[in-house]
């Protein structure tokens, strides 16, 4: 089973099918309202690799600014309690910030 807190999910909200060149190895075509999930943090992985990476980062930034793409989920933030060593996940519930047991961890 995949650990949900390790992935980024994006959604095409442009109103039409579009190709997002920064998704996947060679770009990904998403229908309107279609979602796509990638391992890790999309924002920090797009942009690596010299000029090509810089172009991909700018394209991601433009898609977010123009409202053609939205990030619906991003990787969780994990914190270790210094007293007992337990690991918790940052959680936002009803506009209140707190922690919870990480999902998918046994």
Encode pLDDT of 62-103 as tens digits.
Answer: 999 999 999 999 998 999 989 998 899 998 889 999 988 887
Contacts of 67 (CB under 8 A, 6+ apart): 13, 14
Q: Is the pLDDT of residue 106 over 90?
A: no
More confident site: 47 or 29: 29
pTM over 0.75: yes
| Burial of 56 per CB tally in 10 Å (0-12, 13-18, 19+) | buried
Report which of 50, 19, 46, 13 is spatially closest to residue 32, judged by C-alpha positions. Answer: 13
What pLDDT score does 101 carry? Answer: 86
């Amino acid at each position: 089973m995949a650990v949900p807190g390790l992935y980024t999910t994006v959604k095409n909200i442009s109103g039409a099918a579009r190709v997002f060149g920064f998704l996947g190895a060679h770009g990904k075509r998403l229908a309107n309202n279609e979602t796509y999930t990638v391992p890790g943090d999309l924002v920090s992985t797009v942009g690596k690799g010299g000029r090509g990476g810089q172009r991909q980062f700018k394209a991601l930034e433009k898609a977010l600014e123009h409202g053609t793409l939205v990030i619906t989920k991003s990787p969780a933030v994990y914190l270790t309690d210094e007293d007992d060593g337990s690991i918790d996940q940052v959680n936002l519930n009803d506009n209140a910030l707190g922690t919870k047991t990480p999902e998918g961890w046994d």
